[in-house]
Amino acid sequence: MAAPVAEGEDREGWLPHRDDTFVGRLGMVLQRQRNGLTELALQTTADHRNLSGIVHGGVIMTLLDRTVGVNCRAASMGEPMATASLTVNFLQRVRVGERIEFRCHLRRKGRKTWFADAEAWVDDRLVATATGLWLKLG
């Protein structure tokens, strides 16, 4: 028998990522907890396309950044964080209609900084990576 599913949750544990900031304007962003970290996902639509007709890199970059940001903030007990540096590598195109999943790897914590990486996946294809530095604002 399958485990019960919470209201709004799907069978893989995805729930809406509630957000009234810029990220909330991207559409239905989802989140789930896995291996102690928050993962995000986005089902892309025509609203996410660039002039070449594929998903805009800025959408992917935004959600790579957000994925690390929510994990750094949680690991820092809710302290406000800001991205100081973010390097993104786009490895493969993402077609409109594909679902992108975003994963975080917290690498090292300093007194006021976090070093972290993130990955964007479409099915079993790694489509983008990011590495960066996040600062505590407090």
Confirm whether pTM is higher than 0.85. Answer: yes
Q: By residue range, what is the domain housing residue 95?
A: 20-136
- Helical spans, DSSP H, in the chain: 57-75
Q: Looking at the domain assignment, is residue 86 inside a domain?
A: yes
Per-run averaged pLDDT (10 residues), the chain, 138 residues? 47 90 94 96 98 98 97 92 97 98 94 95 98 92
Q: Looking at the domain assignment, is residue 96 inside a domain?
A: yes
Q: Looking at the domain assignment, is residue 109 inside a domain?
A: yes
Where residue 73 sits, what CATH number does that domain have? 3.10.129.10
Total number of domains in the chain: 1
Q: Looking at the domain assignment, is residue 128 inside a domain?
A: yes
The answer to whether the CB of 27 falls within 8 A of the CB of 42 is yes
Q: Looking at the domain assignment, is residue 39 inside a domain?
A: yes
Q: Looking at the domain assignment, is residue 3 inside a domain?
A: no
